[in-house]
Chains A and B, each alone.
Chain A
Amino acid sequence: MSELSGRFQELLGLLSSSPALAIVLTLGAFFAGNRLFRLLKQPLWLPPILMSAMLVSGMIVILKIDYAEYREGSRWLSVLLGPATVALGVPLYQQMHHIRALWRPILFTLPVAATLAAVYAVVIAASLGASTEVLASLAPKSVTAPIAIGITEQLGGSVSLMMGGLLITGMLATLFVDFTARWLTITDPRILGFALGLNGHAIGTARAFEIGPTAGAFASLGMGLTGIFTAFILPLAFRLTSM
């Protein structure tokens, strides 16, 4: 019996040092998370990625795999992140003609709102004594994940903490846009969509497509433009403030 458990340990050691196990865990959780999401009738407050990530975490704790080991094994996935970021240019191009309909408010809103989305979070966290690493992880909180990963690495933040903040921001933005729009009596789907994409990245955009195709188009636009703008402005701002 003890011989068998020894072999089992050997097998686990072998598997966790190869990327195959990390791939199986991640892919399996991806499908299971999507399935659960549909089973639960697509709750907006519980995005599929959160369910998948919880499944992977549970599995690597049970299998006694170190997170660093899993991260190393799943590194091949990150290789695709670069081309996937480039791919975001396609929906941006497809929605670009919508700018013409609303170019004035977009031109005035985007730079101010995208900058403030980062400034509000950084100022609040700094005033409550957060470290520089935490500030660098919170700053890109409204940016879509593939772009935000690049920004956090530039600023020297923690990708994991940033991802957590990103998810919470996306869910909160969805909630707050619904609530605030009712309070300000805003019903224009273009404005609602743009606000959802600017503040709530992919999660907000998913919500916007539920409102309708117009809101979804403007959310994609807001998400893409915010990502590009923030990717340029944050590294510059951090460089200036640390001088």
Chain B
Amino acid sequence: MSMLNGFLVLTGFFIAGEALRVLLALPVSGGVIGMILLTLLLMLKGSISDSLAGSSQALISVLVLLIMPGVVGVFFVADEFAGQWLAIGAALAVGTLLSVLTTLWLMQRFSGPEGGGHE
């Protein structure tokens, strides 16, 4: 029961996000808007109910299941993007290496001298 309680809250925030997206013509999905609303509200409140924490945990643990149909499609689009696989591969490999380097370098640079040592 308490799990469903949290699910009701999550779905409510999703619908609120969708409503804001349509009414304000935002180019962002309703899920993301709902996520921001929920985070802000929890920060204001400063605490979270067990049922909401529980059902979030449950939904996140089956995320893999929810995105699976999209992932399966990868094996069926080979023809669709024929001739572009070199560009795709290079963008993923070189792009990811560069963005990892950028992130680590920036984080280290702005951490300053006291950033490394203490925990």
Residues of A in contact with B (beta carbons under 8 Å apart): 22, 26-27, 29-30, 33, 48-50, 52-54, 56-57, 60, 67, 70-71, 74-75, 77-78, 80-94, 96, 102, 104-106, 108-109, 112-113, 116-117, 120-122, 124-125, 128-131, 134, 138, 141-142, 145-147, 149-151, 153-154, 158-165, 167-169, 172-173, 176-177, 180-181, 184, 186-189, 191, 194-195, 198-199, 202, 214, 224, 227-228, 231-232, 235-236, 239
Contact = CB atoms under 8 A, between A and B. Distances in A.
B29 A112 contact: no
B92 A52 contact: no
B15 to A, nearest CB: 8
Which of A75, A104, A214 gathers most chain B CB within 10 Å?
A: A104
Nearest to B36: A228
Contact of B64 (A30, A129, A239): A30
Contact of A82 (B30, B75, B112): B30
Contacts of A232: 28
Task: Please report whether the interface of chain B is mostly helix, strand, loop or mixed according to DSSP.
Answer: helix
A203 to B, nearest CB: 11
B24 interface: no
A92 B103 CA distance: 20
